[in-house]
Structure 1
Amino acid sequence: FGGRLFQQWAVDMYIKLETMRLDWYSKQANQKGLVDTVIAGESRGDRIGKRIVLPRPFPGGDRDMQHRFLDAMAIVQRWGKPDYFVTMTCNPYWEEITIELLPGQLPQDRPDLVARVYRAKQRSMMDLLIKGKHFGEVAAYVHVTEFQKRGLPHEHILLIMKAKSKLRTPDDYDRVISAEIPDKNKYPVLHDLVVKHMLHGPCGALKKSCPCMIDGQCRFHYPRDFCDATLQGKDSYPIYRRRDDGVRVRIRGADFDNRWVVPYNPFLLMTYNCHINVEACSSIKA
């Protein structure tokens, strides 16, 4: 592997392949729509041009995305609104990745290795959630894999639970979701993982240049307010328990408390050692 130079070559080759596929679709569309285009152009000049609608088999095209959206909406129509929203982000420093790097290599030099390990972890977590019934019996689910600008893959998962496994009370939320820094003496491993993966920022007054800042406000609404007990949110996500218990940690040049914790499930965090945000969806707008 040649680092960034090889990656540039790989991207160029992929673009060539995609351009050839698009060119084939373009020629097919031109032949089929020639008469329609001429007729439309006689009455409306703005209709003349090359408007090509990609067919559904083309991944990422408008028809493909619309079809997938309608599939997701059909699932919601049949089974109801989602109950959990889970986001899993790749950790480029997983041992399975770092142990395979050659001397002098960094994870970003091996996107193939990063993607392969992430895929294995993602499948493992999906099996745990669906087949292993970690949150209970799942009636249906929708998930999508996205890539961050820096190249790290992450997963968005919506889980629709069966009736007996749905979250109904604040106690149910506290049973599976935490938004606090755990006691370091009592839970040392979990504490270190929360500090490493589940603290947002710093942003706001601590760092106004943070990418999450829009018009002077954090788009994720951090820091959150302290809260002594979990509350049912009004037409939104729940308001998780974030007690002002005096726990503080200093990382990235700032002091963090429970107001900065991204909600997580302790078992998933300890199992997969990466950022895994777990939210309870308490309305159809969540």
Structure 2
Amino acid sequence: MALQYPLLFPYGETSYHEQIAYHNNTGRRQTNRAVEEQRLKWVRAHQNDLRIDLYNNICDTVTRGDTRASSIGKRIVLPSSHIDSPRYMIQNYQDDMALCREYDNPDLFITFTSNPRWPEIDGMLYYIEGQKAPDRPDIVARVFKQKLDELMRDIMKAHIFGKCQAGIYIIEFQKRGLPHVHMRIWLTHEYKCKSPSDIDELISAEIPSQIEDPAGYKVVTEYMLHGPCGGNNMDTPCIIDRKCSKHFPKPYYADTTIAEDGYANYRCRNNGIKVIKGKATLDNSFVVPYSRYLLLKYNAHINVEWCNRSRAIKYLFKYLNKGPDRATIVIQENLTRTGESSVETIIEMFSFDIHFSQPSVLKLSYHLPNHHTFTLHDSESIPTLLHREDTQWLSTIVIKEMMFNQWFELNKRDPNAQKLTYAKIPIHYVSNQTTKTWEPRKQWSCIGRIVITRP
């Protein structure tokens, strides 16, 4: 359709920005505008009207972006930023380690996986004849985001595990297309697990009694049993060298203990409770640690682990920020559809956050006197910017880089600031971009991280 075009950045260069240049047409029909300003103005004016429409009887993974404005009537695709690049993941890792510096090791490691059989998804598919969850990545993405936001409210605001200091998560995507989240939670000192009995109050690793707790038995046996693997089922992905790489079945433990490496061995008793899955009979040794409250509320696979004393804390955060899987592929024609969906693409089109951090981390730059640095887009040139009449672009750069200079000024007038290092300043002060000064922080929370700079 007219004025519909993709913007491709295969080499990881700067993505969409406001000064994308038009092609320099040297023929008879010369281009009047130098950059894509008119289109950008229309997008700003109608960004609330952009939506993803539901198309009945269309079974493909490319969801149409439609607009409400009849006066324009053009469909557009807004490209997302390069969020899975190695640089993005490294910066997230450094931000996460800054939280560890401030709050010590996290307390809980939680994995939350989407469930394509959620009633909200089935309810939407009821009105779309002939389609299933893999055919509608837009519906799966929306419901998953709603569930994830509710889960974070339960943890960070409702304090189901106790009062929280901080929390982060990273959204990843399974090879079959379903999204899942890895998150780390920091609890305040009074709610930290100081003994194995405290861990038992938050985490379970046993099958509930079908008679005493039928609801718990149903969700645990449906979502939290590993496998079955091994024995007559050696083709499962977890089998490496004829052994389960996830170390199932687990040993039995009469009580929860903390191993020398800092990991918890959860209570897993041989109490005779079993469940049949296919041809295999599984017991407590195949249970993935969980929170009963979360399972009953969200009806999905939610693995909860205690990790406060782990010695491999850097590895755990590198695991969170490892980025997407990479593979060598071959493109062929006339291949049969596998039914897999592209939820990752839809989540990026909806501009859902892939990385969440609370509190936020402010990157603090520094420089030699009169050696300010700033970044230009690929399409911008220094001579052009220096001769621009407006100075808005320059003031933005100066405000960002002046935080370091204004820190010295803050120390001259505020004795309390003299007691803090540069990295501690954002906890107690906020940079006012209007007055170009550091002012006492009145709300929200933030921690600072000094960026890595070449010598």
For residues 262 and 131 of structure 2, the distance between their equivalents in structure 1, rounded to whole angstroms, comes to 44
For residues 108 and 225 of structure 2, the distance between their equivalents in structure 1, rounded to whole angstroms, comes to 20
Contact 2:253–2:266 (8 Å) recurs in 1: yes
Matched, 1:184 2:210: yes
Matched, 1:259 2:285: yes
Give the counterpart letter for 1:66 in structure 2: I
Superposed, which structure 2 residues align to 1:1-286 within 5 Å? 16-19=6-9, 22=12, 58-101=82-125, 102-281=128-307, 282-285=309-312
Q: Secondary structure at the match of 2:267?
A: coil
Per-residue CA deviations over 1:121-164 (Å, capped at 9, x if unaligned) read: 00000010001111111111221000101110101010111111
| Structure 1: runs of 5+ lacking an equivalent | 1-12, 26-56
With normalisation by structure 2, the TM-score equals 0.51
Give, in angstroms, the shift of residue 69 of structure 1: 1.2
Contact 1:212–1:218 (8 Å) recurs in 2: yes
Give the counterpart letter for 2:206 in structure 1: E
For residues 10 and 302 of structure 2, the distance between their equivalents in structure 1, rounded to whole angstroms, comes to 38
Contact 1:81–1:284 (8 Å) recurs in 2: no
Percent identity among equivalent residues? 40
Give the counterpart letter for 2:312 in structure 1: K
For residues 220 and 23 of structure 1, the distance between their equivalents in structure 2, rounded to whole angstroms, comes to 38
Give, in angstroms, the shift of residue 226 of structure 1: 1.1
Give, in angstroms, the shift of residue 63 of structure 1: 2.2
Give the counterpart letter for 1:19 in structure 2: F
For residues 13 and 272 of structure 2, the distance between their equivalents in structure 1, rounded to whole angstroms, comes to 62
Runs of 4+ in 1 over 4 A off after TM superposition: 20-25
Q: Secondary structure at the match of 1:140?
A: strand
For residues 188 and 88 of structure 1, the distance between their equivalents in structure 2, rounded to whole angstroms, comes to 23
For residues 253 and 112 of structure 1, the distance between their equivalents in structure 2, rounded to whole angstroms, comes to 36
For residues 82 and 282 of structure 2, the distance between their equivalents in structure 1, rounded to whole angstroms, comes to 46
Contact 2:107–2:306 (8 Å) recurs in 1: yes
Evaluate the alpha carbon distance shift between residue 197 and residue 21 of structure 1 in structure 2; reply closer, same or farther with a 3 A threshold: same
For residues 252 and 213 of structure 1, the distance between their equivalents in structure 2, rounded to whole angstroms, comes to 18
Give, in angstroms, the shift of residue 283 of structure 1: 1.5
For residues 263 and 131 of structure 1, the distance between their equivalents in structure 2, rounded to whole angstroms, comes to 23
For residues 108 and 58 of structure 1, the distance between their equivalents in structure 2, rounded to whole angstroms, comes to 25
Evaluate the alpha carbon distance shift between residue 115 and residue 170 of structure 1 in structure 2; reply closer, same or farther with a 3 A threshold: same
Structure having the larger proportion of residues in helix: 1
For residues 127 and 240 of structure 1, the distance between their equivalents in structure 2, rounded to whole angstroms, comes to 27
For residues 284 and 265 of structure 1, the distance between their equivalents in structure 2, rounded to whole angstroms, comes to 24
